[in-house]
Amino acid sequence: MKKVLLVFDGQHFSEGAFKMANFLHEQEAILVTGVFLQPIDYRDMVGYSSMGAVAPVSVTPYPTDETVITKNMARFEERCQHAGMEYRTHRDTDMFALQELQKESRFADLMILSAEMFYENIGKDQPNDYLKKILRQTECPILLVPENYSFPTKILLAYDGKPDSVFAIKQFTYLFPQFYNWETKLITLEEEGDEFPHQDLIEELATKHFANLTLEMITDETRKSFHTWIKSHKDYLLVSGAFGRSELSNLFSKSFLSDIITDHSLTVFVAHK
């Protein structure tokens, strides 16, 4: 049994995120912990002195509708009971919401949150600043889900030969061995004069975890059409490494993932060391 964090930003209840948790529970029983956060993180509103100490500033609290949070918690508990899921509820409404969420992630196998609704009050264009921070700071893998989607039936592995992309693939296989028989495509970007990076090694690893694996190299000529293709194939679950790190190739960079998240077309699995 795995421990899964289902994250709500206080004022919103994500049907998409809950639906994904229930889907995973149907594959294998999980413990789902509903985390209900403060509607704003005050860390960004606190000034720092030149010595690094927190400077005294006046912070006006964001109006928190405790009634809404309480109703969402009750809704979560009722839905879990109906689905037969073991559950816990954590009300992390301290001032530093993202810091609390990072700590929660340290003690979880997986986090699920809405790629559309996560702190949309501070930025509706996703990934907003809060989502970007969590993608960089989380201490467990994340599943980002759209609000309206069909359950994935295929897997798309983004691979560039670098440690983060391999780490994400391994984390996915460790968490979801039940998807062994899903049709799986491992893609990489063709760089001028390069071959498929470490092809023998990645095949040795991936073929032991994915029974229906194919490898594909994306050329410069097909890169634009690939971006269009991936957004229209909503039956895929995209597996990718760290978000916005300089060592990733252009295909799997921050802008690539941002486009996918912004389009709300695919479920995305992100993991980093």
The DSSP-derived string for 159-210 is --SSHHHHHHHHHHHHH-GGGTTSEEEEEEEPPTT--STTHHHHHHHHTTT-
Tens of pLDDT along 201-229?
999 999 999 999 999 988 776 777 777 77
Split at pLDDT 50, 70, 90, the class of 4 is: very high
- Choose among 127, 122, 90, 107: nearest CA to 8: 90
Domains and CATH numbers, the chain: 2-45+57-145 (3.40.50.620), 154-270 (3.40.50.620)
Residue 179: what residue type?
F
Token pair in block for residue 15: 């049907």
Q: In what order do the strands lie in the sheet with 154-158?
A: 86-92, 30-37, 2-8, 110-114, 142-145, 267-270, 236-240, 154-158, 183-189, 212-218
Share of the chain above pLDDT 70, in %: 79
Tens of pLDDT along 109-139?
999 999 888 877 766 677 788 888 888 889 9
How much is the average pLDDT of 143-164?
91
Token pair in block for residue 246: 């300089």
Q: Which helix (H) or strand (E) holds 35?
A: strand 30-37
Three-state DSSP state, 75: helix
Per the confidence metrics, is the pTM higher than 0.95?
no
Report pLDDT for 191. 66
Q: Can you tell me the distance from the alpha carbon of 175 to that of 239, in angstroms, rounded to the nearest whole number?
A: 12
The DSSP-derived string for 211-269 is TEEEEEEEPHHHHHHHHHHHHH-TTEEEEE--SS-TTS-GGGSHHHHHHHHHHT-SEEE
- Residues facing residue 211 across a β-bridge: none
Report pLDDT for 152. 93
Token pair in block for residue 209: 């975890």
Give how far the C-alpha of residue 96 lies from the chain's centroid of Cα atoms, to the nearest Å.
20
How much is the average pLDDT of 225-234?
77
Split at pLDDT 50, 70, 90, the class of 69 is: confident
Report pLDDT for 62. 52
Tens of pLDDT along 245-271?
443 444 455 566 777 777 777 899 999
* Backbone torsions φ then ψ of 67, nearest 5 degrees: -65, -40
CB 186 within 8 A of CB 199: no
Three-state DSSP state, 109: coil
Report pLDDT for 93. 59
